[in-house]
A and B are shown apart, each in its own frame.
Chain A
Amino acid sequence: MLEVRGLESGYKRSAVLQGVDLDLAAGQVLGLLGRNGVGKSTLINTLMGLVHPSKGTVTLDGVELAGRRPDVIARAGVALVPQGRRVWAPLTVTEHLDLAARRGRGRGPWDVGRVLELLPRLGERRSHGAGQLSGGEQQMLAIARALLTNPRLVLMDEPSDGLAPAVVDLIGEAIGGMKAEGVTLVVVEQDLHLAFAVADDIAVMDKGRVVHRSPTLQFRSDSSVAQRLLGVA
Chain B
Amino acid sequence: MIDWFDANLVSILNGLAIGSLLFILAVGLSIVFGMMDVLNLAHGAFFLIGSYLAVTFVAGESWAGFFTAIGVAALVGLVAGGALSGLTEPLARRPILDQALLTLGISLIVAETLSIIYGNDVLSIGEPPGLDGSIAVAGNPYPTYRLMLIAVGLALALIVWLVVEKTSIGALVRASVADREMVSAIGIDNRKVKIAVLGVGSLLATVAGVLAAPVYGARPGLDKTILLLALVVIVIGGLGSIRGALVGALVIGQVESLGRALVPDLASFILFGTLALVLIVRPRGLFAGKVAHS
Q: Which residues of A contact B (CB under 8 A)?
A: 48-50, 69-71, 74-75, 79-80, 82, 84-86, 88-91, 95, 98-100, 102-104, 131, 145-146, 149
Contact = CB atoms under 8 A, between A and B. Distances in A.
A102 B184 contact: no
A120 B293 CA distance: 25
Give the top 8 A-B pairs by smallest Cβ distance, nearest first.
A74-B187, A70-B184, A88-B178, A88-B175, A95-B171, A89-B291, A86-B293, A103-B187
Contacts of A69: 184, 189
Contact of B182 (A88, A102, A104): A88
A79 B185 contact: yes
B171 A91 contact: yes
At the interface, is chain B mostly helix, strand, loop or mixed? helix
Contacts of B6: none
Contact of A102 (B168, B177, B178): B168
Contacts, number: 75
B174 A91 contact: yes
A149 B187 contact: yes
A91 B168 CA distance: 11
Interface of B: 168, 171-172, 174-175, 177-179, 181-182, 184-190, 289, 291, 293-294
21 contacts: A48-B185, A50-B185, A70-B184, A71-B188, A74-B187, A75-B187, A80-B182, A82-B185, A86-B179, A88-B182, A90-B178, A90-B289, A90-B291, A91-B171, A91-B174, A91-B175, A95-B171, A99-B168, A99-B172, A145-B182, A149-B186
B182 A103 contact: no
A84 B293 CA distance: 7
A71 B188 CA distance: 5
A79 B174 contact: no
Nearest to A146: B186
A70 B168 contact: no
Contacts of A103: 186-188
Contacts of A48: 185
Nearest to B93: A52
B178 A145 contact: no
Nearest to B172: A99
Contact of A85 (B168, B185, B294): B294
Given A89-B291, A131-B291, A99 B182 contact: no
A86 B181 CA distance: 9
A225 to B, nearest CB: 33
A165 B147 CA distance: 61
Given A71-B189, A74-B187, A86-B179, 9 more contacts: A49-B184, A50-B185, A79-B186, A82-B182, A88-B178, A89-B178, A89-B291, A102-B168, A149-B186
Given A98-B168, A131-B291, A88 B186 contact: no
A207 to B, nearest CB: 27
Given A71-B187, A79-B186, A85-B294, A99 B181 contact: no
B31 to A, nearest CB: 12
Nearest to B182: A86
Contacts of B291: 88-90, 131
A95 B189 CA distance: 18
A84 B175 contact: no
Contact of B179 (A74, A88, A100): A88
B174 A90 contact: yes
Nearest to A131: B291
A70 B185 contact: yes
Given A84-B294, A86-B179, A71 B184 contact: yes
Contacts of A79: 185-186
A104 B187 CA distance: 9
Given A71-B188, A75-B187, A100-B186, A88 B181 contact: no
A48 B181 CA distance: 10
Contacts of A85: 293-294
Nearest to B174: A90
Nearest to B179: A86
Contacts of A145: 182, 186
Contacts of A91: 171, 174-175, 178
Contacts of B174: 88, 90-91
Contacts of B175: 88, 90-91, 95, 99
Contacts of A99: 168, 171-172, 175, 186
Nearest to A70: B184
A53 to B, nearest CB: 15
Nearest to B168: A98
A89 B292 CA distance: 9
The interface centre, meaning the residue of A80, A82, A90 with most chain B CB atoms within 10 A of its CB, is A90
Nearest to B294: A84
